[in-house]
Amino acid sequence: MHDDRVPFAQSFPSLSPLVIVHADDALVAIDKPAGLLSVPGRGADKADCAAARVQAQFADAQTVHRLDMATSGLLLFARGAAMQRAVSVMFESREVGKQYDAVVEGLVGHDEGEIDLPLLADWPRRPRQKVDRLQGKPSLTRYRVLHRDPATRTTRLALQPLTGRTHQLRVHLLAIGHPIVGDALYGTSEAPTAPRLMLHATKLELRHPLTAQTLTLSSAAPF
């Protein structure tokens, strides 16, 4: 088992080497940098991705969930088909605890709350998503204020998505009037300048598929 946060060298010069947060016979977790795809996109220019980099060292690593290209933080892979099935079921049945840190526009009024708004793909403006109360899929996000900064009129939030819809956190926060700083899709022209989307996957918690013990993985936000 290898639990140290150490980088491994790859033949992908475009970004810094990935950091392995955890690796054992069942699972591999990395700290994905912002700007790297989770899985390959369409076209040869989008072949470089977290999955390819992990598979260069762990050939049996399989995708079980994704992060947006602009989002950084914890990304988990399962080793082999059996582990992929087991862990995928955990994600689908909401047995995996997930937490994110975000910096959003404006000063959020309530110290904590829930955003319960159904989401649907905004087909004319793909890849955007939108709130659709009639046809959208149920989507639930919990939030907690970590810090308010009156000088920049921003708020740092801890976010817990109870569902896993595409762009869920980004659209939910936009819907309550507090888009994430640095969001090229959903941000506003009044937003503070940021070099990236200020969203980071900070925590994953799940039952280990081999030991049945609780595994908690953490990554501090780099902003």
Per residue in 112-171, pLDDT (tens digit) is 999 999 999 999 999 999 999 999 999 999 999 999 999 999 999 999 999 999 999 999
Among candidate residues 68, 101, 111, 122, the one labeled active-site is 68
pLDDT band with cut points at 50, 70 and 90 for residue 190:
confident
Would residue 68 show up in a list of annotated catalytic residues for this protein? yes
Identity at 97, one-letter amino acid code: G
Rounded distance, CA 180 to CA 169, Å?
A: 9
Please list the residue range(s) of the chain that carry CATH number 3.30.2350.10. 6-95+206-218, 99-199
List pLDDT tens digits, range 13-68: 455 578 999 999 999 999 999 999 999 988 777 789 999 999 999 999 999 999 99
Q: Is 77 exposed, middle or buried (0-12, 13-18, 19+ CB in 10 A)?
A: buried
Predicted TM-score of the model (pTM): 0.90
What is the second-level CATH architecture of the domain 99-199? Answer: 2-Layer Sandwich (3.30)
pLDDT on residue 16: 58
Identity at 12, one-letter amino acid code: F
Q: Superfamily for 6-95+206-218?
A: Pseudouridine synthase (3.30.2350.10)
Q: Which of 37, 67, 41 is CA-nearest to residue 49?
A: 37
Rounded distance, CA 194 to CA 89, Å?
A: 36
SS3 assignment, position 52 = helix
Contacts 24+ apart (CB under 8 A), 119-127: 119/165, 119/166, 119/167, 119/168, 119/171, 119/172, 121/166, 127/166, 127/167, 127/185
Rounded distance, CA 74 to CA 76, Å?
A: 7
How close are the terminal C-alpha atoms of the chain, in Å? Answer: 30
